[in-house]
Every structure is written in C-alpha cells, then in structure tokens.
Structure 1
Amino acid sequence: MGADFPPVHVRLGADQGLAWQLLASLERVFYGYSLAAIVGVLLGILLGQSLFAFRALDPLFQVLRTVPPLAWLPISLATLKQAEPSAVFVIFITAIWPIILNTAVGVRNIPQQYRNVARVLQLNGWEFFIKIMLPASVPFMFTGLRIGVGMSWLAIVAAEMLVGGTGIGFFLWDSWNSSLLSDMIVALAAIGLIGFALDRLLAALGALVQRGA
C-alpha cells in the first residue's frame, strides 16, 4: 500500500487507497458519534432538569470520562467479540460524556426569569423545550458536541491501529510497518484536515440551530 498507488484504488482486503480508508473511519465515527449525540443530549436534558440526579451522577461521569478511549477497547472486544462493533462502541463511550455534561449544564443554566415567563404563559413541556430550553442550552449543547466529535476522531484513529483491517488508523500503522514515510505524512495531514472539517461542520450547524431557535 505504497504512495505509488492512487488514493482511491482498491485491491484486496485492507489494501485500499487513502480515500477509502478515510471513508471507512468516517463511517465508524458516524455510527458511534450519532448514537452518542442522541443518547448524550437526551440524558443531558433529563439530568439538567433534576438537580439531585445531576449532583448524584456527576462524580460518576467525571470518573468515566477520564478513562482513556483505548482502555475501553479490550472490554468491548471481550463483550462484542468483533472488531467493527467494538470500534463503534469505543467512539460512543468516548464521545458521550462531554455531550451529557455540557447539555446538562446548559439546561441547569437557563435563567430563572425564563422559567418564570414559561409559567406565566402556561407553556406545556414541548413548548417550553422549543421556546425556552433549546435556545438557552444550544451553545452549551454544541460545545459538548464539538468536543465529542473531536474525541471520536481521535479515538477511532487510535482504535484502528490496534484492531486493524481498514481505516485511516490502520493505514497509518501499516505505513509505519512498511517504512513509508511519505504515506505517514499524507495520512497525518488527512487526519488533521478531517478533524478540522468535522469541528467546523458542527460549529456551523450550531450557529444555524441557534439562529433558528
């Protein structure tokens, strides 16, 4: 898998061009991160509305979020028995903590006067969420989502180095084993650019949601 092959070539098994390796990694990130975003936002909203639950679970979340991503890989491999779902789980468990915590903080920080207005207007739960909670918590929520997507990208690159098969992490490790310095440099540049693009995408989406909220 040297630099003499075009970036989109496909041979057999893991012998694929850089573009396909990136797509394989992005697919894993999409599944794991999407699940983390959905679960994290929902849990964050629920915890943010209960001060008792937030204080009770925050220490647990703080402990779990400090566990390095690769420390989850042996557990997921032992449980799931397959590399692909294990890599997705590592992404999920890595990304979910900043999403939960930032969303919960955003909900907790809704100004009291906003809540008073909601009571005066007798807003139901859905109206309160759309008109009060979402606009007030979107900045915090998307801060967590941006941190989560960056951690997802870091986690998948590291996990693929150990799991093997396909992906940009495997491509980088395989290039090192093959002493292909040029391929390693190209892979590192691609990793950085994709990570930057993902962050910018979430930032733009957050700005769009905040303007529409």
Structure 2
Amino acid sequence: MAALRREPGAPHLLDARRGGGLRAPIAGATPVDTAAADALAVFDKAAKLLLVGAADEVRALTEVCARWRAQGHAGVRVLAGGVEALPPAAAAAAPPAPPVFVSAGMLQRQAALAPASLVFDAGTDAPLQRIGRAANVARPGEAPRHAARRIARELARSGVVAGLDPLIVVVADHRAAPAWREAWQATAYANPRFYLGSDAEFRVALARDERMATDRGKPLPGPCDR
C-alpha cells in the first residue's frame, strides 16, 4: 500500500506496536523498535514524531515518550487510543484485531487496581459483577451500542482516562464479544479486552493460579522425582 502524503508540519508516524512486523503496516508510518538505543537516529531532534501502538500499549509508550523527550526529542508525542484512533485512510492497512481475552488473574488485578475500568454484560453472574461498579453493568435487554455509550459516560465521571486506561469487558458468552467490541469502537474507550467465564470458573481459575504459584520451584511428582 502506498504511503500517505504527509502534510507540511504534520508529525511523522512511528509504528511502535509490539510485534509490528507481524501485523499489517500502518500506511505512511516508519516502524520503530522502542528498545533500540538508536531508534530515532534518522530523525532530527526538532522533528515532530507521533508514536502509534495498540490501545493496550499506550501507557507503556508514554514511558518511552518521556525517555526520548529527556534525551532531547521534544517533539515526541503518543497517540491516545492507539492504532484504532488513526483516521480511516491511515489505518486502512491495519484492520481491527479480533477480541482479546484475558485471564482470571488479570481480571482480579484490574479489579484490585482499577475497578471503575471493568464493564459487565447483563448476563454476567451477580457475584462476579460485584468486583466492579454497579453503574458499569449493562441492563437486561440493553443493546451493546446503547450500553457502551451510557457506560462510557460513567467511565469518564469515574476518572477512567480514554486511550490510557484499558477496559476489560466481562461477557457471559464469547459470541457477544464482537458486538461489544464494535460498540466500544464508537466511543472514546476503543479496543477493550474481554474476560469470559462464570463466577465459579473465575474462583476455580484463581485457586488454580494460587496453587501453581505455591508449587513453583518444587520437583514434580512421578518417576523423575525419585
């Protein structure tokens, strides 16, 4: 795909997505390895540079941005919302990824650190809903697009920062995830991650993770342990 013509004064797009070489390219962007010491060697220190990552990479990229600005690249910024926030013409070569599902452990950590950034569909078990906020639960029969718009307003009131604080949407059925993802793409809180499972499955998964953590480093039982 041909690169887009950059308007005078517009920033250079830097494709900073992890594993970017395995994804469709962003039109007009320069791939960059944020861990490389000479990542910005080809750019003048006065150049305007816009780091583009996936939505869940934005927070890490703000740290990269701060490091580069401290090194004298004062024109570096990060695109809030990640690649999904690019204009359609620039993002045409980077189609949306399928819904991303997270583990019970990740959901538990998010519930402990930022319960206001959890969203639940109406079919989620009531005990599981309680790890978040009641205002972030879809109403029975409420369409995802309506629920997303309503809950997005609650998220903003709760101080959840669009493009910086990733959401986890808890769904009772994995088939609901694509509709929820599409609904959130129309809000400021694009590209959420998902958790699938009942409250019982959530508790079992946490217990299993705790058991595995306790057993880590111990010899496995069996003939090889004799």
Q: Please indicate, yes or no, whether the TM-score normalized by the shorter chain is above 0.5.
A: no
Q: Quick check: which one's helix share is greater? A: 1
Name the structure with the higher strand share. Answer: 2
Which structure has more relative contact order (CA 8 Å, sep 6+)? It is 1
Q: TM-score w.r.t. structure 1 length? A: 0.27
TM-score by length of structure 2 reads 0.26
